A and B are shown apart, each in its own frame.
Chain A
């Protein structure tokens, strides 16, 4: 099967006063149709940068230095801004973390959703005002249907409300509705539930599961919460300091985490159904992305580090079917 999205050798650097921040280095990833991929990692690992790069939303001083992002057979990095605009929100859409800041406070929810619908479905450039009004009415009705689909209570009322009148959970639902407005092939969720309460998060996750079943679209879920990954994702990519250190089918990752960082991360999480006296700790800190260690980026903190780990960065190796890891512990040191 052909992948829906294929990222090859992606490098994204930020050119700042203090040096070059290598936010992403040689990232390779494949996403298949109707699949949910989880991007997990801590602050600074580059997962948000990766999400933004797919849509080419990286602002200066950041720059996509090298690589290919092939979506449905076409390289997104070679497209013009005009062509990208037809893709953003239409074929690939994004749901962001803080619903409060991503809604324009001076327009109603209905206005903002219908704007997207009109933009991507109808072309009203140069038409008469009367025609525009008619189209707006149609778009508003579609917006109500969309809100119903995402389980929003009283969608006809919400259409006329302003963002500040809605709660966080409702705003996030509306954002998801916005993202689904033009039936995209891929939805990227960047920490979409981090700012929500846990019971509201449960509602949103359930909604996303339903949508996945109904619409058969692909999703990339960027998160730091392994619980969400376990529940929602088919595949997981674990990121550390700008590189992917492990990629696998979800069940295999939890059953058999290979990379020392993945293992460390999983043992550092306090779990509800386990009793531990002390949480396992990964010594040291991430450090900054300007002065990166040579070779494997994780080796200063790794208890298994050897000389090979300092010489060159490890390549991704398939240790078992559908389970890749970038670590010299599993070979690749010639």
Chain B
């Protein structure tokens, strides 16, 4: 499938989300700049991986796209329509096409509802006909590899992998075009993770889905994504095609990230870049390039001016003064 030629399904321009820090009931002390002006796009049928460590804002991005959290500013175009301009009612109609799967499958399912109700809920909310409901639920559970013997069970009676499959079935119920996957396998065991990742790949191919795959685990992201964007402290520092990013990481942070991952290969000798210091907080980000206090190549300009995201190579963007 020629992804380069496909049109943009999702386009995000200059998205910002600031969380106010309250002092008392009315006064605002400052802001947590969780997402500070990022732009990216996801083409039809493509999977964009979003990686970063804690505090980089990737989870917030996922929620802002679906307007589960209201972005502070920015434009989000889904299939050409600026969804930031929609009111609550119209937005609900668009929710059919954009779904989300969360990290903790136990917390994502109402513990008092049976599986059949949980999977049928999206259909019920959007007015699906009642007599066809059971059939459709069986079909959905089947597509994620679960049988109808789970109909009357409760979430706590299922294993972690089964629960996550239920969450995926729920997300697929309305035939979406785009799914945000927020660390969907981080709380699962390795063998279960493999099953879920294979399932996600299969569904993507069968149903022509686009994914935004958010994770801190680079190996997993590489497995499932076509393109990857690396975030640090609310900004995208590099984005490229998967293979390209791993063979030619340009940004010092990407290089450090890649070299930090322990490789399950004892003879693998690598030059490890050990970053000094801690990840700063998003309330008072460093001036200029946000990574410069921890960067081994930092120059004076890095502390003064923030680098823009420039296209160094075909589809390979990086924000660094040294490029």
Contacts and interface: CB of A to CB of B under 8 A. Distances in A.
Contacts of B54: 168, 197
Contact of B275 (A203, A228, A268, A285): A203
B190 A42 contact: yes
A224 interface: yes
B279 interface: yes
B220 interface: yes
B258 to A, nearest CB: 7
A278 B198 contact: yes
Contacts, number: 118
A276 B220 CA distance: 11
A199 B190 contact: no
A167 B218 CA distance: 22
Contacts of A230: 262-266, 268
Main secondary structure of the interface of A (DSSP, over half): helix
A307 interface: no
A270 B222 contact: yes
A51 B189 CA distance: 19
A229 B190 CA distance: 15
A272 B218 contact: yes
Contacts of B256: 199
Contacts of A272: 218-219, 222, 246, 258, 261, 263
B191 interface: yes
Nearest to B197: A279
22 contacts: A153-B277, A169-B278, A170-B278, A197-B54, A199-B53, A199-B256, A201-B260, A202-B274, A203-B274, A206-B272, A227-B261, A230-B263, A230-B264, A230-B268, A254-B264, A270-B223, A272-B218, A272-B246, A272-B258, A273-B263, A279-B197, A281-B198
Interface of B: 53-54, 159-161, 189-195, 197-198, 201, 216, 218-220, 222-223, 246, 256-268, 272, 274-275, 277-279
Interface of A: 42-43, 153, 167-170, 197-203, 205-206, 224-231, 250-251, 254, 264-266, 268-273, 276-282, 285
Given A272-B263, A281-B195, 17 more contacts: A197-B54, A198-B257, A199-B257, A199-B260, A202-B262, A203-B274, A227-B263, A228-B262, A230-B265, A268-B190, A268-B193, A270-B197, A270-B223, A273-B268, A276-B223, A279-B198, A285-B192
